[in-house]
Amino acid sequence: MDQFYLDNAKLYQQLVGALDQPARPELNKSDIVTAARIRPMLEEDHAAGFPCAIYPTTTHTPGELQTVYLHDLHNHPRGRPVLKSSKHEVDRVYGETATTETIYADLVVELVAFARQGGIGTLFAYGQTGSGKTYTISQLQRLVAVSLTEEVVLAEQDIHVTIVDLAGNSAFDLLDSRKPISVWQDSAGDMQLAGAKECQVGSAVEMLSLIDQAATYRRTASTLRNDASSRSHSICRVRICNKHTTPDAPGGILFLVDLAGSEAARDVTSHGADRRRETKEINISLSVLKDCIRGKAQYTLLKSRGSERELRQLHIPSRHSTLTKVLKHVFDPWASRPCKTAVIACLNPSLADVVSSNNTLKYAKMLRAPA
Ligand SMILES: Nc1ncnc2c1ncn2[C@@H]1O[C@H](COP(=O)(O)OP(=O)(O)OP(=O)(O)O)[C@@H](O)[C@H]1O
């Protein structure tokens, strides 16, 4: 397939150049905001000879959706290859020149404010390996650290940080030398990271140093698409408690989640047995995540149709993996606490990755269904 794309790269660029690409509006009433971030073509993408396959709209009107076009090239049984284009809509699209500061202002400032008021705010990035998840989330974590440790915040609220990573069904404390911890649900239905260290921070320097410490314990390995690929899901939980409430009051929570990247089966054939098992575990947990996204979309559909009997039978399988246990509140239509989520679908722009990018955007669409 890769050779087919390379052989037809010029024709592909002509076909895409001849397309007209308009944008379209609609309002987001959901508690989930979806965004797509397209990372720039890297030197290795250019060196491999694949053209860019993702074309975002460049204008944005507040409250309106933005569009990403993906152009794949398909072999035609008679004659020259043809373009097969798909169109995806998300709340915001960030092209290769967009800065993380812009993403922070658009998506994360509101989540931080929401968590400060006692809600559960969640930000997660997902996408194929090498698509820019760690790049995006690690920079956003730093911006969150600076904003949550401003004097005006610390005068009113205490900030507690926990950073863990999930590999398969095991969980590890990244602030305590990868000590194993367990994830369980308490009697109030909240997920607990039992045994994980929770550090109260008194300044940006302290919080940034915890983030750096956690990054050194994160499990990484080389994949075909990324030399330093994260082979675990990293979860940074920030608990925000008002100084004048009782110590055991739940407080607001902000989750900053950098998921491990999915790898296509064709890209893992050269891995050893351990790496193949690890990839399988990652793909299983991402597949349960997709099932939960589908379950939430199904709930929204049934609710809009008023199908009470089917709603009662609906099962969202958030208990089937440690990752979805931790993120249960995102998919749980019956959650007792208010939740807001921002999801960043990270995309590799190269034509070689167009199938994975298509898949990533399909799930962003499901997540966005209005509640
Ligand atoms: N917006 C961007 N601007 C410039 N470089 C970027 C951007 N996003 C990602 N990159 C670069 O792309 C490479 C892959 O990014 P990153 O490691 O964040 O991917 P990932 O999705 O976290 O991958 P994995 O799932 O394998 O961990 C890195 O070299 C990173 O610096």
Confidence band of 293 (pLDDT split at 50, 70, 90):
confident
Look at residue 98 and tell me whether its pLDDT is greater than 60: yes
Q: CA–CA separation, 91 vs 342, rounded Å?
A: 10
Check residue 55 and give its pLDDT. 92
Check residue 201 and give its pLDDT. 96
Centroid of ligand 1 to alpha carbon of 132 (angstroms): 3
Centroid of ligand 1 to alpha carbon of 334 (angstroms): 35
Look at residue 30 and tell me whether its pLDDT is greater than 60: no
Structure token pair of residue 191: 């997920």
CA 342, distance to chain mean position in Å, is 8
Q: CA–CA separation, 38 vs 94, rounded Å?
A: 6
**pTM of the model as a whole:** 0.87
Check residue 308 and give its pLDDT. 86
* Residues of each annotated binding site for ATP: 127-134
Structure token pair of residue 365: 């669409």
Look at residue 21 and tell me whether its pLDDT is greater than 70: no
Structure token pair of residue 229: 């690929």
Tell me the percentage of the chain whose pLDDT exceeds 70: 89
Task: Enumerate residues 6+ apart whose C-beta is below 8 A from 305.
Answer: none
Tens-digit pLDDT profile for residues 191-235: 889 999 999 999 999 999 999 999 988 776 666 666 667 778 999
Question: Which residue's CA is minimally distant from atom 8 of ligand 1?
Answer: 132
Confidence band of 24 (pLDDT split at 50, 70, 90):
very low
Distances (CA, A) of 359 to 5, 12, 205, 276: 19, 21, 39, 21
User: Region 79-100: what's the mean pLDDT?
Assistant: 93
Centroid of ligand 1 to alpha carbon of 129 (angstroms): 8
Report the nearest atom of ligand 1 relative to the CA of 131. 21
Ligand 1, pocket-test mutation among 37, 38, 39, most atoms within 8 A of CB: 39
Q: 157-167 and 199-201: which strand pairing? A: antiparallel
Centroid of ligand 1 to alpha carbon of 229 (angstroms): 9
Confidence band of 185 (pLDDT split at 50, 70, 90):
confident
Centroid of ligand 1 to alpha carbon of 60 (angstroms): 25
The answer to whether 73 and 81 are in contact (CB under 8 A) is: yes
For residues 83-106, b (16+ Cβ closer than 10 Å) or e, as one string? Answer: eeeeebbbbbbbbeebebeebbeb
User: Region 135-158: what's the mean pLDDT?
Assistant: 95
Higher pLDDT, 27 or 225: 225
Report the nearest atom of ligand 1 relative to the CA of 260. 25
Q: CA–CA separation, 326 vs 188, rounded Å?
A: 14
Closest CA to 173 of 255, 125, 234, 261: 234
Structure token pair of residue 288: 């349960």
Report the nearest atom of ligand 1 relative to the CA of 220. 27
Check residue 136 and give its pLDDT. 97
User: Region 34-38: what's the mean pLDDT?
Assistant: 95
The H-assigned helical ranges of the chain are: 2-7, 9-17, 43-48, 100-103, 109-116, 133-148, 151-156, 204-217, 273-305, 308-313, 322-326, 328-331, 354-368
Report the nearest atom of ligand 1 relative to the CA of 125. 21
Task: Enumerate residues 6+ apart whose C-beta is below 8 A from 185.
Answer: 191, 192, 325, 328
Average pLDDT, whole number, for the chain?
A: 86
Closest CA to 278 of 258, 262, 257, 292: 262
CATH number, domain of 66, equals: 3.40.850.10
Centroid of ligand 1 to alpha carbon of 137 (angstroms): 10
Look at residue 12 and tell me whether its pLDDT is greater than 90: no
Tens-digit pLDDT profile for residues 272-292: 777 777 788 888 888 898 889
**Pocket residues: Cβ below 6 A from ligand 1:** 39-40, 42, 127, 129-135, 223, 226, 229-230, 260-261, 346
Look at residue 20 and tell me whether its pLDDT is greater than 70: no
Check residue 118 and give its pLDDT. 92
CB atoms inside a 10 Å sphere around CB 11 = 14
Q: CA–CA separation, 253 vs 111, rounded Å?
A: 10
Report the nearest atom of ligand 1 relative to the CA of 96. 1
Look at residue 23 and tell me whether its pLDDT is greater than 60: no
Report the nearest atom of ligand 1 relative to the CA of 98. 1
Structure token pair of residue 369: 């269904």
Helix (H, G, I), strand (E, B) or coil at 135: helix
Q: How many domains does the chain have?
A: 1
The answer to whether 181 and 194 are in contact (CB under 8 A) is: yes
Tens-digit pLDDT profile for residues 234-274: 999 999 999 877 666 678 999 999 998 876 655 656 667 77
Centroid of ligand 1 to alpha carbon of 135 (angstroms): 5
User: Region 43-52: what's the mean pLDDT?
Assistant: 92
Ligand 1, pocket-test mutation among 134, 231, 259, 346, most atoms within 8 A of CB: 134
Check residue 28 and give its pLDDT. 41
Look at residue 142 and tell me whether its pLDDT is greater than 80: yes
Q: Name the residue range of residue 303's domain.
A: 2-368
Q: CA–CA separation, 346 vs 34, rounded Å?
A: 11
